[in-house]
Amino acid sequence: MSNELIFGFHSVEAILNKEPERFIEIYALKGREDKRLNPIINLARQFGVSIQFMQRKALDDKAKGEQHQGIIARVKEGKKYNEKDLDQIIANSDTPFLLVLDGVTDPHNLGACLRNADAAGVDAIIVPKDKSAKLNGTARKVACGAAETVPLVQVTNLARTLRDIKEMGVWVVGTAGETDVEVFDAKLTGPMAIVMGAEGSGMRRLTREHCDELVKIPMVGTVSSLNVSVATGICLFEVLRQRRA
């Protein structure tokens, strides 16, 4: 099993609270003592995690340009979810709520989508193994801990996975600018998967063909599109609003 570096308070604390056995070592900024860093260091010590205090330049070099907030951790690779895990996730919920990201390659966007998904109550995010952002330190930092609460399911064939979840009773709704149906007018209750495509190119053809319905976000200004994480948040919270209603 390989190791990875994670950065920032939220991502380090989230794994420390959930899976402390994954920690190999923590690198912290020397001389920094505050109410954000100290509790993490104290908790890590309780679990017997080795801690190295470093000067800022050494910490910056280790982070290789990432915004580390004064703390970096080397951890063992976490659980990877696959199609079998997805089947179980769906089976365990009366009304499964899924997010599908087709071609989202920026780890910052992946992290932001994870954070949105956690806040909206999504059961899992589905991504293709190829041409998709990896769950690296950048994505985890942006996710602010959500990478440890929302399973990221990597699938070999996204179109086939969409077909399979439809057979399990999940309604698949894709987002596309050319449709006439606005997301606020669509019925988004019950078992649901929201599919978001890449910025610019949108969903791939086979992905689109496996959607039960297409919706769009109304745009009344001069810009023609939204950042994918922003668009994702709008769609997910519309599902949540309808479910709560």
Q: Residues annotated in the binding site for S-adenosyl-L-methionine, as ranges?
A: 197, 217, 226
Only one residue has tokens 């600018």, namely 177
Q: Amino acid letter at 79?
A: K
Residue 66 Cα to chain centre, angstroms? 18
The CB density around residue 179, as the number of other CB atoms within 10 Å, is 14
Look up residue 93 and give its DSSP letter.
-
Q: Which residues contact 222 (CB under 8 A, 6 or more apart)?
A: none
In angstroms, the CA 238 to CA 220 distance is 18
Q: Determine contact, residues 99/196, Cβ cutoff 8 Å.
A: yes
Q: Determine contact, residues 212/172, Cβ cutoff 8 Å.
A: yes
The CB density around residue 39, as the number of other CB atoms within 10 Å, is 12
Q: Which of 139, 148, 115, 78 is nearest to 237 (CA)?
A: 115
Which two tokens mark 209?
């063909």
End-to-end CA distance of the chain: 45
Q: Determine contact, residues 238/188, Cβ cutoff 8 Å.
A: yes
Question: Which residue ranges are tagged as binding site?
Answer: 197, 217, 226
